[in-house]
Amino acid sequence: MNSLGRKLNKIRSEKGIEIADVAKALKISRKRIEKIEKGYMDPQFVDVLKLTSYYKVSLGDFYQHDTLVKKTDNLFWANFLGLVLMTILLIIYDPAYSWIEFVYAIGCFDYVMFFWKISEKYKIANPIQRKLGKVASRIIIGMLLIIFLSLSVFRLYQAFVIRPYFTIIFLILLVLMFFLWNFSYKKMKIKF
């Protein structure tokens, strides 16, 4: 049994919670939780987030600070670079004909903000901030967001001129999707 699985098992046992109750509440299979607790499977970061939130314990109790920094950095970079790539695609490619890139960029932005919340709670500076400083980090991320939002508005205007009804339907679906993403965090029972 690995130490993470042992800790999760110990906390669940101390709280008198059955695996079936955890599985049902978090929508994680019972077998998956058993494998994690017995050390047969390393849990995904999101699984640990769900479990620690459900047990009302700190994520810091399960990961050493260095490990937590690596996990948040990896997720931050993957989504931040995805957002940069999609911003570049907005510059060179017209999403009026392919909305997938636009939706993906919104998803990357949302996940960057999600993991940024984790970093703030556990006092982990984002990777850009650690390398270049707080001011440079805010400038870089702020400029990227301004460029992304400006291009998004411009491209949506272009799409509206070409296909107004399709664009209106797309915007309604995009807003619904954004609310569903935020709702999914609450449904995953992740609290910061």
How far is residue 81's CA from residue 73's CA, in Å, rounded to a whole number? 12
Greatest alpha-carbon span in the chain: 61
Low-confidence ranges of the chain (pLDDT < 70): 1-2, 90, 93-107, 109-116, 174, 177-178, 180-192
* DSSP code at position 61: G
Dihedrals φ, ψ of 16, to 5°?
70, 35
At 191 the pLDDT is: 52
pLDDT for position 69: 79
Q: What are 66's two structure tokens?
A: 């260095």
**What pLDDT sits at residue 192?**
46
What distance in Å separates the CA atoms of residue 135 and residue 119, rounded to the nearest whole number?
A: 17
For tokens 């939002």, name the residue: 149
